[in-house]
Chain A
Amino acid sequence: MFKEAGLTALVVFGLTFGLVGFKTHDVPGGLTILTRFDQVAMATVLAFVGRIAQVMLREGRAKPVLAAVGPFTLLVLTALLLDAFAAPDTVAPMAWARPFTSPVVNWIVLIIATIMTGRAAWALRHGLAGAADREAAMDRVGAKVQQAARYLGPVLLAVAIILPFLPIADRRLLDIAILVVTYIMLGWGLNIVVGLAGLLDLGYVAFYAVGAYSFALLATNFDLGFWICLPFAGVMAATAGVLLGFPVLRLRGDYLAIVTLGFGEMIRIILLNWYEFTNGPDGISGIPRPSFFGLPFKRSAPEGVETFHGFFDLTYSPLDRIIFLYYVILVLALITNLFTLRIRKLPVGRAWEALREDEIACRSLGINPTNTKLTAFSIGAMFGGFAGSFFATRQGFISPESFTFIESAVILSIVVLGGMGSQIGVVLAAVLLIGLPEFFRELQQYRMLAFGGAMVLIMVWRPAGLLAHRDPTIRLHGGKGVREGPT
């Protein structure tokens, strides 16, 4: 135990000595180095003690852990709260109980300590939980949430619908909401490909880009409106899906992932270099904003055109346009969701899932694997294309920079984190991964740290994703009261 703890402390010491121990500091006339060995010592001690507590927890000795970590948690919590609510420029009391100088690191310490206290308390009441028990418990939670989704879904939907009219809805919140819903839609679209059909697609952003550029080029060259171009952008993206999918869908698993990644990059590079057509790195600007059945959201309109606020006799508010955009993406996302829920119960949808489970068995049942995969790929691409044209009309400007690999990675993270195939999981993951980081922009670089940390934690605790419970698409024995088999 002590050996293990000592080793951990040593590693922490080694890591922090160089990284935390010295800090460059601006002084008039150059840089000096400040030493912060107290911080290093604190980190080492905390790591040592924390590791001991962890080992003791693992061995089932929860009482001493609770006795030690519990008060520590409370202490740190009080100190941090005092600090958080202290008037600026005053030193809050209990400064000695704040282990580090950086508030963010302190909060992280607090979170870890809280988790440990919780686990110790849990272990005292329910006995030691093994990984398998935890997995089973989480699965039951997943099943419960899935059941609750029947009620949770409408509630979330209601909140989403009235959101713009809530008193908290300001420009910033709505912007974040639009972003989150866009990613929810992308997540739902990719969920068809990855979650249902089991095709690992690392280049989904390519279809997002095709949709955005189709719309932008049509709109700027032919002077067409958003609603006319939208279906066309979807068709273009779906066509791109078929064209890209046809040669690569024979591949499986990792190979498919690599090739789709390559295709995603190819599309971006084409957009970057086909200057005459796409305007290259300069992008396309002046993309028209969507209108409300022909009524533009402008303060004043040219002769002969009535504006939205003019028509409805409202006072002009720049927020109107944002609210309208919000509803547009909400409707698009809901269409994606309803479509997926419906198609899952149709033969194609079931064939997608069967294909994910076992392609060889599918072939032995007369299911055409290539066509079935292609439909999944192109339908997923189509929704990506819709989302892409929305993105273009919202931004008014697009360039290849918006469609880098990192976008694909984020969308895929949302799907994987939410639990492959789970619709409500995607919502949850999008809020967690997109919404929270946007809200906590003040935390700057720690934002990405938290993002990565959350990903790692979830993958350790729940490799199948947050809500990986799957409900059958059809039942023989009604809904409830039937044994589902050992889970």
Chain B
Amino acid sequence: MTADPPAPLLTVEHLTMRFGGLVAIDDVSFQAADCEITAIIGPNGAGKTTVFNCLTGFYKPTVGRLTLHHPQKGDILLERMEGFRIAQKADVARTFQNIRLFAAMSVLENLVVAQHNALMRASAYTVGGLLGLARYRNAESEAVERARYWLDRVGLTDRADWDAGNLPYGDQRRLEVARAMCTEPVLLCLDEPAAGLNPRESQELNELLLFIRDEHRIGLLLIEHDMNVVMGISDHIVVLDYGRLISDGTPEEVRADPAVIRAYLGEEEDEDLPPEVARDLAQQAGPAEG
């Protein structure tokens, strides 16, 4: 493992997740640094989404320790927390591989719901809100301002009053990122945010992610299949294959790692790989494999 000069944000140690007899993740350890984009890549079924599910409390890891080095709140052990508390107390936000928006609610409402906990406190757990206290009204307009800020960033301001379910696919992906950001996370986990986007949209997404990293100074974990995205914007790459960690380093190191090339271009496993990825890797790896 390469030593990361920036402060670590997340430490994963000996993470193992078993479903019955299936070992989805097998003794994986890595670190993700603050203010960096850490990509998790690997063929289909490698266990990437499962890592996210363990991090965000949807699964309880069979073995392992997940430590979040929260810049303000100190170290937090994520594997001990209930799902929703990780978002609430540890400020870890995520998006989903299959988009999960509140389809029948408006775009703006999606972003306001994301600020639920802050608004709950401001409304004195509903009592103050029912009485129409000024404190809640102010908090709500602040929430709308924050939502507007992110709508501007993802280019959805004009569509703020649409039903989220009526948005085109690319907009839905960006809205999900915006919604996660509205929770003001310190770690943002994105599960294939560029899936199904056209090249222009994908480029815009890259810019958005870099903006989040540089302007909001938070750490990002990124699952991605598109090698252009991965190689273009990540600072650090973790490669999984069949639940095992096979490589961990900078994009250059990973690109040159024979284990990675074998995993992606291995004799029988070709069919796991989208053709454009295969082509890409083959090009980048040079004449090492055919």
* Chain A positions near chain B (C-beta within 8 angstroms): 339, 342-343, 346-348, 350-351, 353-354, 357-358, 360-369, 375, 470, 472-477, 482-487
Contact = CB atoms under 8 A, between A and B. Distances in A.
A348 B83 CA distance: 19
B203 interface: no
Given A472-B109, A476-B108, A484-B162, A365 B179 contact: yes
A361 B100 contact: yes
Which 6 pairs from chain A and chain B are nearest by CB? A366-B87, A366-B88, A485-B162, A476-B160, A472-B106, A357-B102
Contacts of A360: 58, 96, 100
Given A354-B105, A485-B162, 7 more contacts: A339-B130, A346-B130, A347-B120, A364-B96, A364-B100, A365-B179, A484-B161
Contacts of A375: 126
B151 A369 contact: no
Given A363-B83, A487-B166, A476 B116 contact: no
Interface in B95-112: 96, 100-106, 108-109, 112
Contacts of A470: 104
Contact of B93 (A364, A475, A486): A364
A250 B104 CA distance: 23
Contacts of B48: none
B91 to A, nearest CB: 9
B80 interface: no
A132 to B, nearest CB: 15
A475 B108 contact: yes
Contact of B119 (A342, A347, A475): A347
B157 A358 contact: no
Contacts of A474: 106, 108-109, 112, 140, 144
Contacts of B147: 476
Contact of A343 (B89, B102, B112, B126): B126
B258 interface: no
Contact of A363 (B84, B160, B163): B84
Contacts of B108: 472, 474-476
- Interface size class of chain B, counting residues whose CB lies under 8 Å from the partner chain: 35 or more
Interface of B: prevailing SS: helix
A482 B161 contact: yes
Given A363-B58, A474-B112, A358 B100 contact: yes
B249 to A, nearest CB: 29
B247 interface: no
B83 A361 contact: no
A362 B123 contact: no
B105 A353 contact: yes
A482 B151 CA distance: 16
A366 B160 contact: no
Contact of A350 (B96, B116, B160): B116
A347 B115 CA distance: 9
A365 B183 contact: yes
A361 B96 contact: yes
B109 A350 contact: yes
B100 A365 contact: no
B117 interface: yes
A222 to B, nearest CB: 30
B104 A357 contact: yes
Contacts of B100: 358, 360-361, 364
Contacts of A486: 166
